[in-house]
Amino acid sequence: METACSCQPLSARLARRAASLTQTASSSQPCFYEEGEEQTRPELLLAESGIRVPKAAYGLSLNQMAALGLAVGEMALKLGEPSPDSLRAKAFYCGDEVPTKKRPTRMAAGTGAAPGQAPPDLPSLLLDGRICYIGMPLVPQVTELVISELLWLNYSSPEKPVYVYLHSMGSQTPDGQAVGFETEATAIIDTLNYIRPDIHTLVVGQAFGNAAMILASGKKGCRFALPHARIMTAPPRLNRSFGAAPNIMIKANELEHSTQTYVELLAKATGKEEAEVRKDVGRNRYFTPEQAIEYGIIDRIVRPQEEVAMEKKDYEGMLQKAQAQQRPRAASAGPSADSGY
């Protein structure tokens, strides 16, 4: 008997198993079928035998049957098929769509300010007062902004002075780690010497390394410091590097060239001999404002009761003047006069 059962085809065994499961499921829980179907007709197709069985035959949901490999054929393909909405590009973006056109920002009503445009940012206000503020380490982005401001001020009013405020650690940290190239400072100094306006420099917090060289490169007699500012001269440095001997030698030669440039510019600004300056910049040297005056880096200390001769602007008067000039233009707007042709 066992031999006969074992020799029966797989389809026959699956048919008997499905029939017994159908009777068990029909006695344990009700089954629901679409209208027009008989209760004996199943809904799932077994690929091996081609026999239909009802949904409740295994006591599992459709997803569970698919995970166990019981739902095969078209039903299995439908279960694994993703939703069309999930394949759209919009499903992979978060938030609302960004509008491509926006109306200009306007001031709130009743504020007393002139509507029509957003207020200017702080660097723009400083630039309007011909003030160039360097408050970050000398990295390429800072150098690009500073040089752009200097060139614009030279173009707008070359006869008026430019005020450079410094609060920077230069191109390296106090512990000697390089954060930028030495050429960032030399590019700014070359631009200061290139433009026509007089350069007034003022250190408001700290001027270390190359920033001290920029401070000393201002016009003689127009280099200032606040009472508690700190100034430090430091030689150019390179971070620890590894590589082939020729590459290390190239870096060493470049470092020596940067050091020589630093010594020449600082000696020219302070009026000291290059040998003395090279000896002083062999290590970090800190200066108080009084010591910086003795060394020749700055010329004056700005006290609270004193005022630096900087340009003052009456912005209220400038606004009223601009509005007065716009009124005649608005009144004269209309049909143009006869041109005579």
Q: What integer pLDDT is reported at residue 69 of this predicted model?
A: 63
For strands 131-134 and 300-301, give the pairing.
unpaired
Establish if 318 belongs to a structural domain: no
Burial class, 286, CB count within 10 angstroms (exposed 0-12 / middle 13-18 / buried 19+): middle
pLDDT (tens digit per residue) in 20-49: 655 554 444 444 444 444 444 444 444 444
Task: Please give the residue range of the domain that contains residue 254.
Answer: 122-301
Asked which of 123-132, 205-214, 312-321 is least confident by mean pLDDT, the reply is 312-321
Joined tokens for residue 4: 């006969």
Establish if 290 belongs to a structural domain: yes
**Which residue spans within 2-145 are E strands per DSSP?**
44-45, 52-53, 131-134
Q: Are residues 133 and 271 in the same domain?
A: yes
pLDDT (tens digit per residue) in 234-290: 988 887 777 888 888 988 899 899 999 999 999 999 999 999 999 998 889 999 999
Q: What integer pLDDT is reported at residue 286 of this predicted model?
A: 94
| 64, 82, 100 - which closes a domain | 82
Nearest 5°: phi and psi at 97?
Answer: -70, 140
Joined tokens for residue 206: 């700290």
Q: How far is CA 149 from the centre of its chain?
A: 21
Q: Are residues 37 and 159 in the same domain?
A: no
Establish if 87 belongs to a structural domain: no
Establish if 210 belongs to a structural domain: yes
Query: Hey, how many other C-beta atoms are within 10 angstroms of the C-beta on 325?
Result: 9
**Which residue spans within 262-305 are E strands per DSSP?**
285-287, 300-301
Q: Among 168, 175, 160, which Cα is nearest to 208's?
A: 168
Joined tokens for residue 134: 């360097």
Joined tokens for residue 275: 């040998």
Close Cβ partners of 47 (under 8 Å, ≥ 6 residues apart) = 72, 73
Q: Are residues 193 and 285 in the same domain?
A: yes
